[in-house]
Amino acid sequence: MQAEGAGSRPRPQWPAGFVSDEEDRLALLVLLCLPGLTPRRLRMLAEGVGGAAACLDAVRVGHPTVARADRARAERLRARDMSTRLDEVGARIAVPGDDDYPRGLLDLSDPPAALFVRGGSVVRSDVAVAMVGARNCSPLGAEVARSFGRDLAAAGASVVSGAARGIDAASHEGALAAGGHTIAVLGSGIDVAYPSRSRDLLDRILESGSVVSEYPPGVPARPFRFPARNRLVAAISDAVLIVEGAEGSGSLITADFALDLGRPVFAVPGPVTSPLSEVPLALIRDGAGLVRNGEDLLVDLGRLDPHPARGLSAGTLSGRLPDGLTETERRVAEAIAGPTLPEVLATVLGCSLAEVLTAVVGLEVRGLVRTVGGRVERRMTVPSD
């Protein structure tokens, strides 16, 4: 699915010289802590008064476009204190033109004046792919996301996601398993883990990847901040991949941002009876690229080496099966097209239910299938012999 490119219409840019020296950088730290001074409002202020230091002066003297609460907060805050706080949490600030500020953010109608960054360099590869999907994903969906994350990272792409539970977390985990680069975009302050159990994942990402946010330390996660986060996920990336999403899912928000920015959208199909397939199937019907695995996506992007020698997964059950299976195990494995009841398999294969259940146990022991809610489903990756 491809919309008109962002280059087909002009995007507002930050005024030249908005951050030109250390005084401007320190002033910007204060400006970024003012809740009412959104990126769009701050840019409009900058267009009228000049650099970040001049903007802070205007705020403190009561510029008519600035809320009283923001003025009072600006008077209390000290830039040096904010700088010290960034050092304490191991974060830095990146402004347009810095190496850690992805150029794709400038395609937005409201690009952030700066990013807060922890970990390694944000811009590290030639291509970045966003992976988003359901928080309450299925076990198979999580495995699909890990497989895509692993394959993309192994091929040299940066995997971008939101560090939420479910598909986001699985995408990051797949990239980490491949030793690749992944970027976590937060909908909270740069030092705030949300949900709290994602802290361990974020710590692992910091070892080899990057954590970014447009919010300074201490800012709590709030519902309205997640759509804002999603626009960054789409803008940082060269393509967006959707893995599972029920009706009303935030995945659609990211897809909409991607289309507005001219980024291609891809989706992984799922069973038509599953509520979690609603968003991917709807997107595919509307023109999103259908992809089954990392190789499909790499080929469709047309810019990465799709060959397994670069580190793609060894295969899936739709490809080769390992040696040593019984005839019934092989037939059962080949017959599973999606989550399926053993009784259905027995009918399709003309076997007894006992024979199918014995074969399923054998396949589970080998890590080829699993049983979820009474149904048998494939695992994505065939273990190596």
Between the alpha carbon of residue 219 and those of residues 43, 142, 355, 358, the distances in Å are 21, 29, 57, 54
136-176 residue pLDDT tens: 999 889 999 999 999 899 888 999 999 999 999 999 999 99
Q: Give the Cα separation of 116 and 106 in Å (integer).
A: 16
In a domain, 343, yes or no: yes
Same domain, 300 and 361: no
Instruction: Please check whether residues 246 and 191 belong to one and the same domain.
Output: yes
Higher per-residue pLDDT: 275 or 367:
275
If you average pLDDT over every residue of the chain, what do you get? 89
Q: Looking at the DSSP assignment, which residues form a beta bridge with residue 375?
A: 372
Q: What is the DSSP string of 266-318?
A: EEE---TT-GGGHHHHHHHHTTPEE-SSHHHHHHHHTSS--SGGGS--S--TT
316 located within any domain: no
Please, which pLDDT band fits residue 378 given cuts at 50, 70 and 90? confident
Residue 276 and residue 292 in contact, taking contact as beta carbons nearer than 8 Å: no
Summarize pLDDT for 246-279 with one digit per residue, the tens: 988 889 999 999 999 999 999 999 999 899 999 9
Q: Is 244 helix (H, G, I), strand (E, B) or coil?
A: coil
Q: Judge if pTM exceeds 0.75.
A: yes
Task: Work out the percent of the chain whose per-residue pLDDT is above 70.
Answer: 90
Asked if residue 269 and residue 134 are part of one domain, the reply reads yes
Report the domain count for the chain: 3
pLDDT for position 312: 44
Question: Average pLDDT in the 225-250 region?
Answer: 94
Whether residue 12 lies inside any domain: the answer is no
Q: Which residue among 67, 89, 111 closes a domain?
A: 89
Q: Are residues 234 and 366 both part of a single domain?
A: no
Residues 151 and 293 occupy one common structural domain: yes
pLDDT digits (tens, 9 = 90+) for 3-62: 555 444 556 678 888 999 999 999 999 999 999 999 999 999 999 999 999 999 999 999
Residues 6+ apart with CB under 8 A from 72: none
Query: Looking at residue 233, which CATH number applies to its domain?
Result: 3.40.50.450
Same domain, 292 and 346: no
Model pLDDT, residue 12: 64
pLDDT at 192 over 80: yes
Q: Does residue 118 form part of some domain?
A: no
* Percent of the chain scoring above 90 in pLDDT: 71
Domain of 242 in residue numbering reads as 128-310
The pLDDT value given to residue 79: 93
What the block records as the tokens of 257 is: 């941002």
For 108, list phi and psi in degrees, rounded to 5: -75, 155
Q: What is the DSSP annotation of 135-156? A: SS--HHHHHHHHHHHHHHHHTT
In a domain, 82, yes or no: yes
134 shares its domain with 174 = yes
